[in-house]
Structure 1
Amino acid sequence: MVKEFQEKLIELKEYLKKLEYLKSAMALIQWDSVVNMPAKAIHYRSEILGYLSGESYNISTSNKIKEYVDFFSNKRDLDDITKGTIEKISKEYDRNKKIPKKDYTEYIIAGSISSAAWDEAKRKSDFKIFQPHLEKMVNYNQKFADYWGFKKNRYDALLDIYEPGITTEKLDEVFGNLRDAIVELLNKIKKSGNNPDIQFFNGNFPKDKQEKLAKRIIYKMGYDYKEAGRVDESTHPFTTSFGNKDVRITTNYDESDFRPALFSCIHEAGHGIYEQDISDNLQGTLLGEGASMGIHESQSRFYENIIGRNKNFWKFFYPDVVEQFPKFKDISLEDFYRGINYVEPSLIRTEADELTYSLHIIIRYEIEKALINGDISVEELPNVWNKKYKEYLGIEPKNDREGVLQDIHWSDGSFGYFPSYALGNLYGAQFLNKMKSDISNIYQEIAKGNLNVIHKWLKDNIHKYGCIYTPTELINKVTGEELSSKYFIQYLNEKFKKIYNIK
């Protein structure tokens, strides 16, 4: 009996490696499509992705998968890895079986073409170029959600892809609390009149010097771009993984301000470190990826903001800034620190300050929830977007590029993804609370440049497990509590009241 079990387990892992190989191949093609591909190659490249996605679909919905699910589901006392694998392939089998192969293949092809259309539309700041493609992606996602089924809200079916167990009902509650806390603190900041000076961030910052500074920092953080990754350029920064030995990130440089590229590198490196730290023994299990997009974003935003905008972090790295950009030799560390934590409502999500960032996410959450439920049309989207920015942040986009076209996510149909960013803030603050109790001198270590103590804690407690555990299981395992917004709200108040001298 034991022999049969072990043989079946080995057989399962070998079978699942086929899916992992296909996933890596498609990710590599998609990475190249964004970083290197000539414009005329888009249609043939889309056909390749369509074919590979069809092969992936065949394997994930095969009778063989069903046999494995039936065999292992009847076994008791499965170890966490095997249990997690069976739960994952069973869920994906049920989900994919409900989508006709023709629809799935056409969706992948449409997504690739849509992403290229979005890129052109953004460059030309013309939403109408992208509109028909976005309409297709919305229609596909509505159709898929109906195939999968849902209890109360069609959008819940899409949320479950990125954050298993989260519902619109829960998000409405959590985001409502978060929004109220942010608005209250934001109003206090506006009334304080203690605005930091940020003029010194304007100037000429050559790309090669930005790249040198960013690579120095992210390598020190623990992201191995030398032997297990790369740093490239793309319109929209992103991270992609072809297994834990090849995890690549991209950024976008602005030579008039070095902050966007620097902090996007730190953010994406947080994703990259997570993927590089996943245990080798998860190969052939489909568990060699993040627990959820919310947990993934907790790592990127943890490094970008909680660590990357901490004064102790810059006590160590500020000399590197001065070395690359000598104009900062006359700027004090305190002024620099206050400057990188400047709070001001802005139009671009990726450039938003730490405090108001979640408002950008709430806007997107409300819009895509309305789109998927048919409450608004794609044609109305630019106007709806502009009105919400005026209402929530008091500012309004001047054009489509800085408005509705600024993000790539909807172009490939990633509806349900955006809430992950705000959830990541909440997870990250809760992880920090636990980390501080485990490492009492954490900030002193950061000031000495010992970021390995952080990396090791994250690897041992979160990264190495991949997606063996659900987000709910993981947050309980690490912190002993369910997810709570109180830690992030407390973190924001403590930090920004001190910066802005608010009583």
Structure 2
Amino acid sequence: MDKLTEFKEYISKIARYQQAISLIYWDLETHAPKNAYEYRSQALGELTELEFTMSISDRMGEYLDYFSKDSIFGNLNEYDQASVKVSKKGYDKFKKIPSKLVRKIAETTSKATHFWQLARKESDFSIFKPYLEEIVSLEKEEAEALGYEENRYDALLDLYEPNLKTTSLKETVKYLQEKLSPFIRELFENGKEPRHEFYEKNFDVEKQKELSIEALKFMNFDFDSGRMDISAHPFTTKIGPMDVRITTRYNDKDLRYSLFSTIHEGGHALYELHIPEEFFETPLDSGASMAIHESQSRFWENIVGRSPYFWKFFAKKLRKIFPDFDEVTEEELYKGVNIVKKDFIRTEADEVTYNFHIMMRFELEEALINDRINVGELPTIWNEKMKEYLGVVPPNDSLGVLQDVHWSNGQFGYFPSYMLGNLYSAQLFDKLKKDIKDYSSQLEDGKSDEILNWMIENVHKYGKMYEPEELLKKATGETLNPKYFVDYIKEKFSEIYQL
């Protein structure tokens, strides 16, 4: 067996451990009985430690040293070169983290998720507080192990968005605040809110599920390679090749929640399902970054799913399942899914205010990781930030500091990906419109094939070959420019709110 074949088999074995880990995570969030979490957490910790140990082993180091030699690297094809580069970057980074710390994080977070769910149900932050304190301590330890130049939080940001720094993130936040804060005030002071009460009734959950499936069919979601389930917090998990699972959550008082949660997660799934087969069970078999991933989910959820063109088609599907909508026009259905409001819940926020939910989470995370605030202060500071940014104060912890699963999973540094994903999606959309001039009429006809194929050709097919800024420039001709998002928001909502 030649050395390249050996290396490929070795990284395939690591990928199979990752598949087992993903399956346990998915099961804990969906179908596992509540008494199982303790033992599943131990199994998860052991598998995670094993997979991690293989990834930073001396054997892996030897493979990477060998294939990184100029004389060897130059003879590899572009996919194998990319695989070596991605593996080497991960190896150099994660070699710094003790395997015992990795296991401890996996065990702690899997248990913490259980207590987060309980705390959220009881609306009692104190139930979750000791577990979050331990997670924050572990995350700081991880950041120190990874290393950073200026800001401890940078080490965690890099896990989700390679090369992103806190300083540049703050510049983006400042730009959005300057451009959108006055616009939001104008919307609330002078805008005319469209009617939308027809979405806020009792809706049968089984029929909502039927509607969600229709949306996934429109998106060309492959049900032979994926499935949809229910969870407390909607998410997407790639178990492995040809197996991508999404979850949604139903609200029997508002039809919009489950529909757009499903479309959002479906966007993530499409990305994973269209990564080329030659990347399967290699380090390239995933998205370029979490923000690029979010660009896909937000594109389908907002730019497509909340467009007037989509509703010219989807109104028929809605009325067939829910005849009560027969008297509601297509324009009213469209405008009714684009209501701007000061909401407590991030996942229910509109396109205009959503990034402000992310800004406050970013500020809280960065302050926690740098010891400027402590976990016990979170509920109070959370409410203060909500009032500052959105003008509302959550009435309880469930609608406030306990609403997101991310911290229980130890995903510090993840939240900014959502904001960047919005910006990336608008920039990609600007280029897509130039390349597919009749995209709107295609959507009106219920056809998404060409739009999906554009994303496959410009984003999906590269998997993790390129880092996010490099991929964005390859697809659009320039690096991140938040102006595309601001222009998109102002044009769309000025029309809807008749400014």
What are the ranges of 5 or more consecutive residues in structure 1 without an aligned counterpart? Answer: none
- How far apart in 2 are the matches of 1:156 and 1:311? 39
| C-alpha RMSD of matched pairs (Å) | 1.1
1:420 paired residue among 417, 422, 426: 417
- How far apart in 1 are the matches of 2:421 and 2:15? 26
2:447 paired residue among 444, 450, 456: 450
Residues matched between the structures, number: 496
Indicate the residue corresponding to 2:165 in structure 1.
167
- How far apart in 1 are the matches of 2:150 and 2:210? 50
Indicate the residue corresponding to 1:136 in structure 2.
134
Indicate the residue corresponding to 2:125 in structure 1.
127
Aligned positions of 1:179-258 closer than 5 A = 179-224=177-222, 226-258=223-255
**Residue 22 of structure 1 aligns to which amino acid in structure 2?**
Y
Indicate the residue corresponding to 2:396 in structure 1.
399
- How far apart in 2 are the matches of 1:366 and 1:153? 13
Q: CA deviation at 1:82?
A: 2.1
1:279 paired residue among 268, 276, 279: 276
Q: 3-state SS of the aligned residue for 1:37? A: coil
Indicate the residue corresponding to 2:311 in structure 1.
314
Q: CA deviation at 1:252?
A: 0.6
Q: 3-state SS of the aligned residue for 2:282? A: coil
Give the conservation status (yes or no) of the 8 Å contact 1:49–1:108: yes
- How far apart in 1 are the matches of 2:101 and 2:5? 33
Q: 3-state SS of the aligned residue for 2:393? A: coil
Q: CA deviation at 1:190?
A: 1.4
- How far apart in 1 are the matches of 2:4 and 2:79? 11
1:56 paired residue among 51, 60, 63: 51
Q: CA deviation at 1:200?
A: 1.3
- How far apart in 2 are the matches of 1:265 and 1:196? 24
Indicate the residue corresponding to 2:84 in structure 1.
86
Q: 3-state SS of the aligned residue for 2:228? A: strand
Indicate the residue corresponding to 1:337 in structure 2.
334
**Residue 156 of structure 1 aligns to which amino acid in structure 2?**
D
Q: CA deviation at 1:126?
A: 0.6
Which consecutive aligned stretches of 4+ in structure 1 deviate over 4 angstroms post-superposition? none
**Pair 1:297-2:294 in alignment:** yes
Q: 3-state SS of the aligned residue for 2:240? A: coil
**Residue 211 of structure 1 aligns to which amino acid in structure 2?**
K
Give the conservation status (yes or no) of the 8 Å contact 2:241–2:280: no
- How far apart in 1 are the matches of 2:451 and 2:234? 24
Q: CA deviation at 1:180?
A: 2.1
Aligned positions of 1:34-53 closer than 5 A = 34-53=29-48
**Pair 1:376-2:373 in alignment:** yes
Q: CA deviation at 1:9?
A: 2.0
Give the conservation status (yes or no) of the 8 Å contact 2:55–2:91: yes
Q: CA deviation at 1:91?
A: 2.1
Give the conservation status (yes or no) of the 8 Å contact 2:241–2:281: no
**Residue 150 of structure 2 aligns to which amino acid in structure 1?**
K
- How far apart in 2 are the matches of 1:214 and 1:140? 38
Q: CA deviation at 1:81?
A: 1.9
Question: Which stretch shifts more, 233-242 or 280-289?
Answer: 280-289
- How far apart in 2 are the matches of 1:489 and 1:395? 23
Q: Identity of counterpart residues, as a percentage?
A: 45
**Residue 449 of structure 1 aligns to which amino acid in structure 2?**
G
- How far apart in 2 are the matches of 1:241 and 1:29? 12
Give the conservation status (yes or no) of the 8 Å contact 1:51–1:105: yes
What are the ranges of 5 or more consecutive residues in structure 2 without an aligned counterpart? Answer: none
Q: 3-state SS of the aligned residue for 1:314? A: helix
**Pair 1:113-2:111 in alignment:** yes
- How far apart in 2 are the matches of 1:441 and 1:62? 52
Aligned positions of 1:463-502 closer than 5 A = 463-502=460-499
CA deviation string 1:171-222 (max 9, x = no partner):
0001111122221211111122411112111211101111111101112202
Q: CA deviation at 1:96?
A: 2.3
Give the conservation status (yes or no) of the 8 Å contact 1:244–1:278: no
Indicate the residue corresponding to 1:65 in structure 2.
60
Indicate the residue corresponding to 2:457 in structure 1.
460
Give the conservation status (yes or no) of the 8 Å contact 2:16–2:281: no
CA deviation string 1:214-248 (max 9, x = no partner):
10111220211x21111100000000002231100
Q: CA deviation at 1:87?
A: 2.1
- How far apart in 2 are the matches of 1:92 and 1:474? 19
Q: CA deviation at 1:392?
A: 0.5
- How far apart in 2 are the matches of 1:163 and 1:117? 28
Q: CA deviation at 1:93?
A: 1.7
Q: CA deviation at 1:283?
A: 2.0
Distance 1:193 1:425, change over 3 A: closer
Give the conservation status (yes or no) of the 8 Å contact 1:15–1:284: no
- How far apart in 2 are the matches of 1:415 and 1:80? 33
Give the conservation status (yes or no) of the 8 Å contact 1:270–1:299: yes
- How far apart in 2 are the matches of 1:444 and 1:177? 34
Indicate the residue corresponding to 2:321 in structure 1.
324
**Residue 146 of structure 1 aligns to which amino acid in structure 2?**
E
Give the conservation status (yes or no) of the 8 Å contact 1:244–1:277: no
TM-score normalised by structure 1 residue count: 0.97
- How far apart in 2 are the matches of 1:345 and 1:442? 32
Q: 3-state SS of the aligned residue for 1:249? A: strand
- How far apart in 1 are the matches of 2:477 and 2:5? 34
Q: 3-state SS of the aligned residue for 1:353? A: coil
- How far apart in 2 are the matches of 1:200 and 1:182? 29
Q: CA deviation at 1:79?
A: 3.6
- How far apart in 1 are the matches of 2:92 and 2:228? 37
Give the conservation status (yes or no) of the 8 Å contact 2:359–2:416: yes
Q: CA deviation at 1:61?
A: 1.2
**Pair 1:358-2:355 in alignment:** yes
Give the conservation status (yes or no) of the 8 Å contact 1:14–1:284: no
Q: CA deviation at 1:327?
A: 1.5
Indicate the residue corresponding to 1:155 in structure 2.
153
